[in-house]
């Protein structure tokens, strides 16, 4: 045993490194729900401590952990709390965090059954739970990926595979040069990750046939061009600004009958389908062929949790297929066949733990509560002079603007500087807007009231300056 090994065996045996990390983690949890929602200027400046040349020599483990705690932790964004409304950013359930904590020590590679029978088992179980939560066809399979960016890519790859197969073209072997033409149709407010996937898959972003949307960002069904069995139709459950849903019940069955492949980007919105009060929003989505959804947004699993679900197993696995002489295909589930990656951490552990903890009724309650908090926000902010809500708050998103783009920008800047809540900006119907995304189990009525007060405070500060 060399001295390096000796040192690390000692670290394993005496556990003090792990205790130190755990102590800091617990302190973080104690503070995260009260802390300023964005790092202070001081914390941001001190990040320069990390600017150093690649160290020549080994460090002490406890110094490494201490650096992370002392300078890393204050420069994090504590989105786990109830007043982070930026982008569409989920919190984490305590049980999900704890499961991840335990699984950290397991450090499983979930590529194949033989590499982690546990991960394989949990993936099979969660696949069947998801089918039942979302009422998807029996043939549906699921792949566990890093997020909806990746899940969209997988769904569209499956579509490409199937649509070209139907034209007697094997895209894996023959590529796209000289292939029969495949059309891609999407709403003109499709998420940027969908557009990216279209580019990556070689369809050509310029060839997308964009369909006009209504004032909520929903595809206007009557404007969808003629569909056929060479068409990929991309729909959306949850517009990233307004939270609106395409009208699946009007679109999907018809598109399916025309032979088109339907992919639904439901990164955060698909979970509406798991709530009694909200599931009318996703009605008809079961006629699609592939669905992309995140665990780490509305479901509040820890980060790095996306899911591709596909009713056409063969199309998905063929699109993502790989082989190697050392690969042992088992009779049990080998997760890598449903994802682009081979080695993957066992993110399924946190996803399973979150679903097991909540149960169907717990998911329903959590999602419904997020919706209610979004409605509360919209009601309270509209009651103030100078703020207007521009969208129908059908789910968890609220789009707010002030009397002019200039004022909206300034108010947004002040809200961010106050650090009592965090919201981002966007452009909606040609206007600068503030986006509020309620996406945390921890958001209470008080958090909403505090945040609305922060909006008012920001506005008042501007008036004083003017
Ligand atoms: C967030 C989001 C994505 C991308 O998902 P990631 O998990 O960030 O990769 C795609 N589509 C929509 C509608 C989203 O909100």
Where are the alpha helices (H) located in 258-347, listed in sequence order? 313-319
Q: Quick one: which atom of ligand 1 is closest to the CA of 296?
A: 7
240 ligand 1 Cβ < 6 A: yes
Q: Where are the domains of the chain?
A: 3-78, 99-355
pLDDT in tens, the chain (466 residues): 999 999 999 999 999 999 999 999 999 999 999 889 999 999 999 999 999 999 999 999 999 999 999 999 999 999 999 999 999 999 999 999 999 999 999 999 999 999 999 999 999 999 999 999 999 999 999 999 999 999 999 999 999 999 999 999 999 999 999 999 999 999 999 999 999 999 999 999 999 999 999 999 999 999 999 999 999 999 999 999 999 999 999 999 999 999 999 999 999 999 999 999 999 999 999 999 999 999 999 999 999 999 999 999 999 999 998 666 666 667 899 999 999 999 999 999 999 999 999 999 999 999 999 999 999 999 999 999 999 999 999 999 999 999 999 999 999 999 999 999 999 999 999 999 999 999 999 999 999 999 999 999 999 999 877 6
Q: Whose CA is nearest to atom 1 of ligand 1?
A: 267
The CATH classification of domain 99-355, taken from the options 3.40.640.10, 3.50.50.60, 3.40.50.2300, 3.30.70.100: 3.40.640.10
- For residue 309, how far is its CA from the centre of ligand 1 (angstroms)? 15
154: alpha, beta or left? (left if phi > 0; alpha if psi -120 to 50): alpha
Residue 299 CB–ligand 1 contact under 6 Å: no
451 lines ligand 1 (CB under 6 A): no
Element (H, E) at 388: strand 388-389
What atom in ligand 1 is closest to the CA of residue 236? 13
CA proximity to 188, closest of 172, 209, 157: 209
Q: 86 CB under 6 A from ligand 1?
A: no
Q: What are phi and psi of 232, to 5 degrees?
A: -105, 120
pLDDT number for residue 321: 80
List Cβ neighbours of 153 (8 Å cut-off, separation of 6 or more): 196, 197, 200, 201, 340
C-alpha span between 159 and 315 (Å, rounded): 7
Copy the structure tokens of residue 136: 């998807």
State how far the alpha carbon of 385 is from the alpha carbons of 414, 432, 457, 459, in Å.
17, 18, 12, 10
Ligand 1 center–CA 224 separation, angstroms: 23
Look at residue 329 in the predicted model and tell me its pLDDT: 67
CA gap 350, 101 in Å, rounded: 9
Q: Is 271 in the pocket of ligand 1 (CB under 6 A)?
A: no
pLDDT, residue 355, reads: 98
Residue-level pLDDT at 464: 78
CB contact at 8 A, 302 and 92: yes
Alpha-carbon distances of 371 from 26, 171, 224, 310, 351, rounded to whole Å: 30, 42, 30, 27, 22
Give the model's pLDDT for residue 323: 63
CA–centroid distance, residue 268 to ligand 1 (Å): 7
For a ligand 1 pocket test, name from 149, 186, 305 the mutation site with the most ligand atoms within 8 angstroms of its C-beta: 149
pTM of the model: 0.97
Largest CA distance in the chain: 72
């Amino acid at each position: 045993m060399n001295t390096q090994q000796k040192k690390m065996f000692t670290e394993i045996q005496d556990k003090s490194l792990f205790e130190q990390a755990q102590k800091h983690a617990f302190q973080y949890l104690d503070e995260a729900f009260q802390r300023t929602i964005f790092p202070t200027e001081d914390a941001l400046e001190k990040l320069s401590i990390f600017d150093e040349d690649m160290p020549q020599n080994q460090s002490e483990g406890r110094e490494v952990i201490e650096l992370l705690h002392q300078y890393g932790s204050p420069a994090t964004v504590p989105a786990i709390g109830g007043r982070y409304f930026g982008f569409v950013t989920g919190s984490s359930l305590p049980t999900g965090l704890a499961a991840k904590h335990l699984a950290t020590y397991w450090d499983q590679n979930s590529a194949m059954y033989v590499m982690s029978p546990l991960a394989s088992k949990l993936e099979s179980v969660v696949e069947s739970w998801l089918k039942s939560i979302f009422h998807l066809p029996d043939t549906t399979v699921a792949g566990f990926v890093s997020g909806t960016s990746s899940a969209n890519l997988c769904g569209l790859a499956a579509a490409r595979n199937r649509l070209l197969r139907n034209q007697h073209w094997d895209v894996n072997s023959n590529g796209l040069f000289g292939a029969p033409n495949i059309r891609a149709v999407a709403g003109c407010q499709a998420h940027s990750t969908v557009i990216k996937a279209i580019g990556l898959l070689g369809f050509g972003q310029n060839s997308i046939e964009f369909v006009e949307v209504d004032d909520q960002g929903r595809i206007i069904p009557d404007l969808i061009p003629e569909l056929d069995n060479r068409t990929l139709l991309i729909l959306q459950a949850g517009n990233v600004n307004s939270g609106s849903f395409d009208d699946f019940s009007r679109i999907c069955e018809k598109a399916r009958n025309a032979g088109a492949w339907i992919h639904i980007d439901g990164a955060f919105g698909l979970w509406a389908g798991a709530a009694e009060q909200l599931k009318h929003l996703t009605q008809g989505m079961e006629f699609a062929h592939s669905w992309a959804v995140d665990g780490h947004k509305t479901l509040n699993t820890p980060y790095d949790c996306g899911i591709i679900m596909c009713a056409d197993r063969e199309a998905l696995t063929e699109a993502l297929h790989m082989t190697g002489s050392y690969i042992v295909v088992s009779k049990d589930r080998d997760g890598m066949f449903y994802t682009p990656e081979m080695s993957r951490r066992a993110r399924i552990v946190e996803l399973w733990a979150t679903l097991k903890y909540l149960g169907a009724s717990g998911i329903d309650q959590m999602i419904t509560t997020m919706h209610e908090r979004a409605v509360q926000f919209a009601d309270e902010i509209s009651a103030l002079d100078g703020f207007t809500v521009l969208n129908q708050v059908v789910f968890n998103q609220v789009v707010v603007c002030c009397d002019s783009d200039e004022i909206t920008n300034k108010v947004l800047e002040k809200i961010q500087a106050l650090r009592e809540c965090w919201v981002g900006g966007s452009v909606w119907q040609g206007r600068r807007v503030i986006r509020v995304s309620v996406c945390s189990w921890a958001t209470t009525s008080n958090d909403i009231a505090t945040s609305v007060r922060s909006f008012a405070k920001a506005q008042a500060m501007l008036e004083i300056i003017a």
